[in-house]
């Protein structure tokens, strides 16, 4: 199968042109590309929403996980929007956003946090930034936020296993079509019918 630069759909921006070439194999990500099982947005919404509204959960997973999951049906619309907008940022940065929101909302006590600086970083993360070399902040505060972001990420991962992998995988065994990205199987068959080997790679928990 030969791919040509001029064959790209009008809706696709071709950043760098290339010579016509043969496709010899295809590598696929799984989550979000072919599978909907790892439904991370609700878990990110719940974890960040809880933290921004109620403060940091206990570091102990056995205490934190049920505490946060008890709020599963609560509306966290701002955190939901953030989860969508921040897709592509590191999960640790997403956790930092939640912690800083908790500080800003007064549910996480850090007297050494400058509200104006904290707000600037919150807005910057929402805009897609992950580092702020131009901002001067107390190193002790920055280190504390990094530590708590790591702890919160561990909690997020555990909830993700419970809510997405275990729950959704059980349903996917019965109703696989519900958990496939629409068009996924057709695309794979299209490639296979043209003799293109397909390989799957993922760094996810599912």
32-57 pLDDT per residue, tens: 789 988 889 999 999 999 999 999 99
Place of tokens 């609700």: 42
Regarding whether 104 and 172 lie in a shared domain, the answer is yes
Number of domain units in the chain: 2
Q: Is residue 206 situated within a structural domain?
A: no
Beta bridge pairs of residue 31: 35
Regarding whether 195 and 108 lie in a shared domain, the answer is no
Tell me how far CA of residue 88 lies from CA of 70, 77, 144, in angstroms.
28, 19, 24
Give CA–CA dist 147/168, Å, rounded.
31
Q: Residue 1 contacts by C-beta under 8 Å, 6 or more apart in sequence?
A: 22, 23, 191, 194, 195, 196
**Top-confidence range, 51-55, 136-140, 158-162:** 51-55
Regarding whether 162 and 197 lie in a shared domain, the answer is no
Regarding whether 147 and 49 lie in a shared domain, the answer is yes
Give CA–CA dist 195/86, Å, rounded.
37
Regarding whether 86 and 16 lie in a shared domain, the answer is no
Regarding whether 67 and 163 lie in a shared domain, the answer is yes
Average pLDDT, the chain: 92
Regarding whether 166 and 92 lie in a shared domain, the answer is yes
In this prediction, residue 1 carries a pLDDT of 74
Regarding whether 54 and 148 lie in a shared domain, the answer is yes
Band (pLDDT 50/70/90 cuts) for residue 104 is very high
Residues 176-184: what's their mean pLDDT?
93
Query: Are 103 and 96 within 8 A, CB to CB?
Result: no
Q: Does residue 203 come out as left (phi exceeding 0), alpha (psi in the -120 to 50 range) or beta?
A: alpha
Q: Which domain holds residue 195?
A: 2-35+182-201
In this prediction, residue 206 carries a pLDDT of 41
Regarding whether 53 and 149 lie in a shared domain, the answer is yes
Give CA–CA dist 68/65, Å, rounded.
5
């Amino acid at each position: 199968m030969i791919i040509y630069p001029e064959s790209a759909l009008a809706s696709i921006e071709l950043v760098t042109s290339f010579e016509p070439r043969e496709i010899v194999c295809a590598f696929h990500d799984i989550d979000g590309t072919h599978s909907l099982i790892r439904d991370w947005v609700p878990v990110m919404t719940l974890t960040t929403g809880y933290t921004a509204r109620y403060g940091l959960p206990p570091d102990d997973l056995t205490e934190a996980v049920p505490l946060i999951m008890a709020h599963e049906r609560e509306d966290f619309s701002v955190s939901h929007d953030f989860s969508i907008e921040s897709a592509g940022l590191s999960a640790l940065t997403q956790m930092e956003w939640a912690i800083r929101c908790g500080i800003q909302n007064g549910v996480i006590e850090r007297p050494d946090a400058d509200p104006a600086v904290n707000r600037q970083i919150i807005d910057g993360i929402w805009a897609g930034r992950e580092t702020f070399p131009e901002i001067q902040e107390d190193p002790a505060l920055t280190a504390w936020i990094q530590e708590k972001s790591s702890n919160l990420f561990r909690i997020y991962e555990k909830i993700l296993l419970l809510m997405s992998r275990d729950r959704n995988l059980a349903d996917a065994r019965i109703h696989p079509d519900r958990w496939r990205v629409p068009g996924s199987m057709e695309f794979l068959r299209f490639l296979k019918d043209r003799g293109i080997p397909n390989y799957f790679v993922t760094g996810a928990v599912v």
